[in-house]
Structure 1
Amino acid sequence: MKTIVVYVKTPGAGQRISACAAETDLPQKVKVVDCAPALFLELSLGRVDVVLVDVALAAPDPVKFTRTVRTRFPATGLVFTGAASPRTAAMLAAAGALGVMRAMTGDGDDLLVAFAQTVVLARRRLTNTTSSVPRQRPPRPALKALSDREFQILTALTEGKRNAEIAIDLFVSEDTVKTHAKHLYRKLGARDRAHAVAIAFRTGLLT
């Protein structure tokens, strides 16, 4: 993998992404930018596999933004994060984006989950497009390591859902969700939800 560029709103969001990158052993391959000129400078250097960009930063026309990036840098994948409507997400996909990762706040845990998903997406994309020799998949952790409820919560975390939303979906209290989350973090050896999502995708526990 060459580089993932993350285009985010605030320095705080950038710091959280950098910290997450360090936890996934990718600090040298992740570049955080906070303005369009910096983004296009990185793209012009030709070392970018995937860009994760807040959909709000592609305003006023994220579809046009997508077409511009895809036309000028066809070898670079584009992933959006943010509160995009289903219609907008479909239009972005039609314009050439790889997808839209949900991150409602733009700088919280859901942004880190979106980043973790993008890391995995970038690795898969690079493997599929540049390697003629199939890579051996890492050993799949035994599913019995997680309880059914913990696995449900892990799946919900990969979708960027908050604890309150998970609690509603599973008909349990938010405290119960937090307790199960702590248990699954411990079993996976994860520090937080973003780290748990990265481990789950990287090891094949979730695909």
Structure 2
Amino acid sequence: MTEKIKVLLVDDQPLLRMGFRLILEGEDDVEIVAEASDGAEGVRLVEAHVPDVVLMDVRMPVMDGIEATRRITASGACSRIIILTTFDLDEYAFSGLRAGASAFLLKDVAPEELVHAVRVVASGDAVVAPRVTQRLLETYVRSQHGGPKPPSDPLLEDLTRRELEVLHAIAEGLSNAELAHKFFLSEATVKTHVRRILTKLHLRDRVQAVVYAYETGLVTPSQGLDF
């Protein structure tokens, strides 16, 4: 039997948590392990339950979702975080991605999209998804450019030429299958390259790799993010 995806719900609205619980618990491969009504409680429950995925609201009492995300990722927890927000181009959601979240979803997301996003983020092998995350990255990454180019990160020197090429392609939003086709490699080899890139740059996942590529100036908006 396949191990279930363990999910933690963190939102100060009980009705929203209930709705997400009903949707996700209807799936055979998903289990809700706990619920929290604020970010501080969410941080404690991540430590207690070690969920695979955390659905994290942004605006909550006691501790907001951005700070909770920052603390969870800084702790070294392997839980992946999906930011929940009301607006699709929310600067707070972008702050959540910078803090270490893997994606973000609108609170009125369709049930099938919610389930898909949880599975994709849990797999750790996703493109920059869901698509609304791409729009968010495009908007806020583009808005930050125009000043002096940031200094190159010394960690980039640890990447091989092929790994740099793969990182550029990840920043363009290519999937593993598309990367394999582009570089004439097997998908297994592509996964190895991606894993090595994330390890060398101390990144959690592909979304973090895209944010990193733009924030370090390795890639500029005119070169990629063709969403």
TM-score by length of 2: 0.44
Greater RCO, CA 8 A, separation 6+:
1
Q: Which has the higher helix share?
A: 1
